[in-house]
Amino acid sequence: MVPSGSPRHTHWFRIGDLELLVVSDGVMRQDAGAVFGLVPRIMWEPYAGPLDEQYRMALGLNSLLVRAHGKTILIDTGTGAKGSRAPGAVSTESSGKLLANLAAGGIRPEDIDIVVNTHLHFDHAGGNTRTEAGRPVPAFPRARYLIQKGEWEAATHPNERTRGTYLAENIEPLADARQVEQVQGEVQVVPGVRLTPAPGHTEDHCIVELESGGDYAIYVGELAQHPVMLERLAWISAFDVLPLVSLETKRRLTEKAIEKRATLISVHAAYPGLGRLRAEDSKRRWEALKANGADA
Ligand SMILES: [Zn+2]
């Protein structure tokens, strides 16, 4: 991976021919116990960072911009800035900055050709739409939004457990504007960019694999909420609807990441969320990378 010659403040980096930029939607705060699931507090507390008075930890909201083959692709859209009812005790006071941060990188909403959602939870699809004249409308007026068919079904038919996170205002305006392209299974977005099923967090949750010129990267979606959860397979969040499936998905993808020396882009790690997994004895070790993809 070669750091590109783009201006420093925008932190573009390359995977072969693909140009990448991690763009933050800000930070949200979420109940730390729920993030770490069955793991006892005494074990996760050293990793969670400072908790607020409601026992919430800070989670990054790292979206990924990809320029390839003349297309500009945005992967995940954070919580958005509509001031939606976030589920439970989640704080979105410091999120909703995606459009401003895209603008700072010289990207206008109409520049986005394709939006990819790893899944449709409020913190990955919230920025799909924005408020105009009091109503939610697609935030990226020219974009096709690629969404797994099964995820679309789950999100548009939520149950008692999922309806707090599948918010109609993030989803329905896309269908009304005929901007949704439902896909199934593994899909090539453009050459070198693949939407790949990675079930567990939701049944149809996906990651995005980026492969070009011998370099390989994975946008991990909700495979893990914190890098330590990539090191420890059994650490799985309480939000996952199929935790034992998550375990096997994580086993397979972390082995692949180690073998191929993947650059990993973690949605919820601190910005920019870039790192690499290394096998050390019988353990896995996360090594953070700098915003330009170089060793930290
Ligand atoms: Zn999430």
pLDDT tens digits for range 46-86: 999 999 999 999 999 999 999 999 999 999 999 999 887 66
DSSP E strands, the chain: 13-15, 18-31, 56-68, 71-75, 114-116, 129-132, 135-138, 144-148, 180-183, 187-190, 193-197, 206-212, 215-219, 263-265, 274-280, 283-288
Cβ contacts of residue 173 below 8 Å, gap of 6+? 128, 129, 135, 136, 137, 138
What pLDDT, on the 0 to 100 scale, is given for residue 216? Answer: 98
Handedness of CA 257, 262, 267, 270 (dihedral sign): positive
What pLDDT, on the 0 to 100 scale, is given for residue 210? Answer: 98
Predicted model pTM = 0.94
What pLDDT, on the 0 to 100 scale, is given for residue 111? Answer: 98
What pLDDT, on the 0 to 100 scale, is given for residue 97? Answer: 95
List Cα–Cα distances, 23 to 57, 108, 192, 217, in angstroms: 20, 13, 20, 16
CA 258 / ligand 1 centre spacing (Å) = 23
CA 206 / ligand 1 centre spacing (Å) = 12
CA 19 / ligand 1 centre spacing (Å) = 24
What pLDDT, on the 0 to 100 scale, is given for residue 88? Answer: 67
CA 213 / ligand 1 centre spacing (Å) = 30
CA 209 / ligand 1 centre spacing (Å) = 18
CA 1 / ligand 1 centre spacing (Å) = 27
- Burial of 237 (C-beta count, 10 Å sphere; 0-12/13-18/19+): buried
What pLDDT, on the 0 to 100 scale, is given for residue 295? Answer: 65
DSSP string computed for 178-214: T-EEEE-SSEEEETTEEEEE--SSSTT-EEEEEEETT
CA 18 / ligand 1 centre spacing (Å) = 25
Handedness of CA 269, 182, 250, 188 (dihedral sign): negative
What pLDDT, on the 0 to 100 scale, is given for residue 173? Answer: 98
CA 105 / ligand 1 centre spacing (Å) = 23
Peptide bond into 243 cis (omega under 30): no
User: If phi over 0 gives left and psi between -120 and 50 gives alpha, with beta otherwise, what is residue 26?
Assistant: left
List Cα–Cα distances, 51 to 37, 74, 239, 268, in angstroms: 16, 31, 19, 16
Backbone angles phi and psi of 250, in degrees to 5 = -65, -40
CA 35 / ligand 1 centre spacing (Å) = 10
Cβ contacts of residue 99 below 8 Å, gap of 6+? 81, 109, 127, 130, 139
8-288: CATH topology: Metallo-beta-lactamase; Chain A (3.60.15)
CA 121 / ligand 1 centre spacing (Å) = 7
Tokens (6 digits) for 95: 């999120």
Around ion ligand 1, which residues have CB less than 5 A away? 123, 222
CA 243 / ligand 1 centre spacing (Å) = 15
Total number of residues shown for the chain: 296
Would you kindly state where each structural domain of the chain is located, as residue ranges? Answer: 8-288
What pLDDT, on the 0 to 100 scale, is given for residue 39? Answer: 98
Q: Which residues of the chain have pLDDT under 50?
A: 1-9
User: If phi over 0 gives left and psi between -120 and 50 gives alpha, with beta otherwise, what is residue 281?
Assistant: left
Single out the residue of 215, 120, 216 nearest to residue 170, CA to CA.
Answer: 120
